[in-house]
Structure 1
Amino acid sequence: MPTEKSETLPFHRASPELAAPAADSLRTKYIWLAVYFFFNLALTIYNKAVLGHFPFPYVLTGIHALCGTIGCLIFYLKGHFTLTTLSERENITLFFFSLLYTINIAISNVSLNLVTVPFHQIVRAMTPFFTIIIYVIGFRKVYGVMTYVSLIPVVAGVGFATAGDYYFTAIGFFLTLLGAFLAALKTVVTNRVQTGRLKLSPLELLFRMSPLALLQTVIYAYFTGELQGVKTYVATDLTMSMFLKLLLNGAIAFGLNVVSFTANKKTGALTMTVAANVKQILTIVLAIIFFHLTVTPMNAIGIILTLGGGAWYAKVELEAKQQKPTVLRPKDDGVAPKI
């Protein structure tokens, strides 16, 4: 007779042999990465435009979390996913996971005020290396030499592409470095929550995270004085056009979160951090095309290095997956295997 817990859990928490879906093809993974690039670039450009008229970054993050909550609720009511019965320990894990997301945003914004933008970008470009360190030390994962080598132009290219004034204070350097580590840790934990013991779907993970993120960003906005500024803005400057722009901004953020979680689950944390570096370069390329941004020869070299390094990394990962042997585990029927 099944236990009470097994009766309440949905099918995707069953044994891995029964619940594991078929392996995603490389083409599917690259498609998800391409969609991730599209949403990420769209939100980055749109955020810059919105913040020019609505200078409240933490409130804007709260709007993203609110739209995520509403969007996931709609999908839940339509039956697109079910809620997993979690233990008290698992709920606490998700709470700390939400704190990691909020702290990562806070550290990034605070450090940006203490260092120059070029220095901030080059340190954040080291996120793939922090990701490798977390996996090697925390999960004893082994990477091939070519994986390490292919990451060098990805990181160095961002440095060349953003070359400029590298001024920083001591506390600014520490916080920027901490922000890069937290960004890597957030990406790794996102992958583990979806592929480890919890095995939460992207929509369920976002549904559980969004209300917590909303509460935390509102608290932070209160202590930084943003809420008071928003009250004044709503009373004097908010128009229907701006309201619709904020709503569209939140809808794009919801789409990005779903795509980001899904791409992370299908491709892995290290690939996502490399993709984030390539996204920085693509943002610069778009700025050159649409905003006539002037670049130096060194900036151009950096763009080529990062894009080429990203393609090289993808090739290395593809070859590693093709060469990885398939291990067939014999069924344990109590009979010793023949030698």
Structure 2
Amino acid sequence: MAWPESLLPQRERTHSELLSTLYLGSLFAGWYVANIAFNLYNKQVLKAFPFPVTVTEVQFLVGSAVTLAAWASGLLKAPRITAATVRNVLPLALVHTLGNLLTNMSLGAVAVSFTHTIKAMEPFFSVFLSAMFLGEQPSPAVLLTLLPIVGGVAVASMTEASFNWYGFLSAMGSNLTFQSRNVLSKKLMLRKGGEGALDNTNLFCCITLLSTLLLMPACLLLEGWQMTPAGLSAMGARDPGQVLVWAALAGLCFHAYQTVSYMILQRVSPVTHSIGNCVKRVVVIAASVVFFRNPVSLQNALGTALALAGVFAYGQVKRKAGKKAAAE
């Protein structure tokens, strides 16, 4: 039976919306899978090779290699990089470098699940920094959602078997730097069509290249370059080749999940992205607990659940506020 002519546009729109939804769903699935794989590979590398600066630099190097290959092959259209582009991207690259380094420092010191529980504090830093530097005053509802986040992290920390101050403060520092990056992004206003403008994917690629250059001197000065078969053997690694493979896979997964995250952000609102990030954190925590068989007490689990529930509530409050502002 042929469709009436008047119904064809509606049918085509429905088909297009379905494809768009499936594509977005596949991006979220890829984001979660790549992030889980990164955390599992990365933790195993840090166990065998406890040098977070070098591990972070390897991840940036792998990402840079993937970026240059994508640009050279035409898989990703290479942007026109000007002095204005570098000026705009450099502050973002600085906080990106520090944020990922601090995350790896925490992952090397405490359980993966605990690092991600602490990183549930990101909304707290977002509200604090936005109020301080952007003049955005949080609503009472937003402030209320911060209470279970802070309380949940405190409860989880008190009973965490792997707790140490080095890992805790590194994760907190990571929260501060990543939320500073978001504030910087708003202040720098990398608008489409403006001087030095980039789409989200190429923005991340340029950040990765600059981060590689920024971290390399510190890596060589502080840790030297010991990630070699001989260096790993000297540290007692049973299978140096396996550790190098894990490091390469962690780097690929790191670049993949961050790239997909930027692709998702280009298609959804920051609030929707934030809610997706909260769900992702739940999945990563669960996967890491199962994979590494970390001991988890009831109080620890309740604290983690409370913090993540607060993050989800924060996303919902921000989304309703956004809808209200759009309606006005």
How high is the TM-score relative to the length of structure 2? Answer: 0.70
Q: Gaps (5+ residues) in structure 2?
A: 1-19
Give, in whole Å, the separation in 2 of the partners of 1:242 and 1:47: 10
SS of residue matched to 1:227: coil
Q: Give distance in 1, aligned partners of 2:169 and 2:312.
A: 31
- Maintained 8 Å contact 2:148/2:310: yes
CA separation in 2, counterparts of 1:285 and 1:51?
Answer: 20
Residue matched to 2:7:
none
Q: How many Å separate the matches in 2 of 1:247 and 1:118?
A: 22
- Matching of residue 81 in structure 1 with residue 82 in structure 2: no
Residue 154 of structure 1 and its aligned partner are, at CA, apart by: 3.0
Query: What residue in structure 1 maps to residue 86 of structure 2?
Result: 91
Counterpart code for 1:294: P
Q: Does the 8 Å contact 2:148/2:309 carry over to 1?
A: yes
User: Following the alignment from structure 1 to structure 2, what is the Cα–Cα distance between the partners of residues 318 and 29?
Assistant: 19
Give the match for residue 45 of structure 1. Answer: 40
Is 2:111–2:294's contact at 8 Å kept on the other side of the alignment?
Answer: no
- Partners of 2:139 and 2:323 in 1: CA distance: 14
| 2:52/2:101 contact within 8 Å kept | no
What corresponds to 2:55 in structure 1? 60
157-166 or 35-44: which moved more? 157-166
The equivalent residue for 2:221 is 223
Preserved CA contact (<8 Å) 2:44 2:246: no
SS of corresponding position for 2:49 = coil
1:301 is matched by which residue type in structure 2? L
Q: Which range moved further: 228-237 or 125-134?
A: 228-237
- Choose 125-134 or 284-293, whichever is displaced more: 284-293
> Is 1:100–2:95 an aligned residue pair?
yes
Instruction: Encode CA deviations 1:218-260: one digit per residue, 9 max, x unaligned.
Output: 2122122241464742687675544433322221111022023
8 Å CA contact retained: 1:81, 1:203: no
How far did residue 270 of structure 1 move?
Answer: 7.0
Contact 2:278 / 2:312 at 8 angstroms: preserved in 1?
Answer: no
1:213 Cα deviation after fit:
1.7
The CA distance in 2 between the partners of 1:243 and 1:251, in whole Å, is: 12
More helix by share: 2
CA RMSD of aligned residues (A): 4.2
Residue type of the alignment partner of 2:181: K
Secondary structure of the corresponding residue to residue 48 of structure 2: coil
**Matched-pair contact (CA < 8 Å) for 1:62–1:217:** yes
1: distance between equivalents of 2:185 and 2:263?
Answer: 10
Segments of 5+ residues of structure 1 without an aligned counterpart are 1-24, 328-339
Give the aligned length.
Answer: 300
User: What one-letter code is carried by the residue in structure 2 that aligns with 1:75?
Assistant: A
Give the letter aligned to residue 127 of structure 1: E
What residue identity is the alignment partner of 1:247?
A
